[in-house]
Structure formats: C-alpha cells, structure tokens
Amino acid sequence: MFGNATQVFHKNSPAFQARHRVGLSIVGFGSAWVSENGAMDSERIDKWLWAARFFKSRALASKACDLGRVLWKGLEAKPSREIRVGEMLRVRTEAGEFDVEVLSLNQSRGPAATAQTMYRETDESRQTRIKLAAERKAMQELMPLPDHRPSKRDRRRIIQFRGRG
C-alpha cells in the first residue's frame, strides 16, 4: 500500500536496533551521538571545526572540508565525517596549518577560551607555524610598501604588464 515510503520494523529486529541504537543504549541527538551518561561520543567534523573556532561559520568549515583543507587520519574529510575524542586532524586555514588532537566535543560554539580547550596542537605544528610567520615578516621588511597608491596611469600599466588588458 505504501510502497517504499514507509518501513515498519519489529523492536527486536536487527534493522530496528541498528536504526534506533536500542542495543547500544545510545540515543541520537542532532548530528552527534549522546550516551546515557550525557557525554557525546562523536560529532560532525564541520560542526567541531566551527565550535573550536578554526572557521567563522559552519558553512566555511564545510567548504574547507570540500576543498580538501581538512585531513582526518591522512585522508580528506567530508563535512559529515564523525570525529571522536583522541583523533588527529590536520587543518589548513589562512592563519596556517594546524596538526591537532581532539580533546573534547561541543555541540555549540562558546567563547574562545572554551574553544582552545577542545584541542591540543602538536609542538611540531606550532613551531612550523611560528617559523613561517617569521619568514613572512622578514619578507615584508625586504619589500617595503609603495609611498602612495598607484595612479590611474600606473594601474593601467600594471594591468597591461599582468596581461589582463
């Protein structure tokens, strides 16, 4: 009568138990799994990156995953990938590349102080970022900014030089 639109499972069937996690005593909660003691077991990677303040919006976190800027166990992570405490991530943002270990999960975005307790960056990653920042700063000192903005004539020459005009 209903075709494939509805499926009815008996409570003791494996399909029902898998769908409702009855046998595991876990209750579904949004996009994370919450155990009986109230602790979250896993969370979507895009939601975690947003809550940990690597990205300003969840949409940006999702886009970074789609572009391959987030690696989970060395593999490109999809935004819907479930992560757990103790897993290692490599996140590439405008600020640099971070190798982090997930320490806690959080459904909502809180203050920056709380977000920093959600992960631990490896010493190697931190040293690499500091080294790259120092190199960028040294390059700025070698190439000073121009004294004034380019005039209309200068802009035309720049465009012509770059081959766009």
Confidence (pLDDT) at 35: 56
pTM over 0.75: no
Confidence (pLDDT) at 36: 56
Confidence (pLDDT) at 6: 46
Pick the CATH number of 43-162 from 1.20.120.450, 3.10.290.10, 3.30.1540.10, 3.40.50.1580: 3.10.290.10
Distance CA 130, CA 134 (A): 6
CB 22 within 8 A of CB 86: no
Confidence (pLDDT) at 165: 60
Confidence (pLDDT) at 163: 85
Q: Which residues contact 98 (CB under 8 A, 6 or more apart)?
A: 54, 89, 90, 91, 92, 121, 125, 129
The whole-number mean pLDDT for each consecutive block of 10 residues of the chain, a chain of 165 residues, reads 49 61 44 56 93 94 95 93 94 92 89 93 94 89 85 94 80
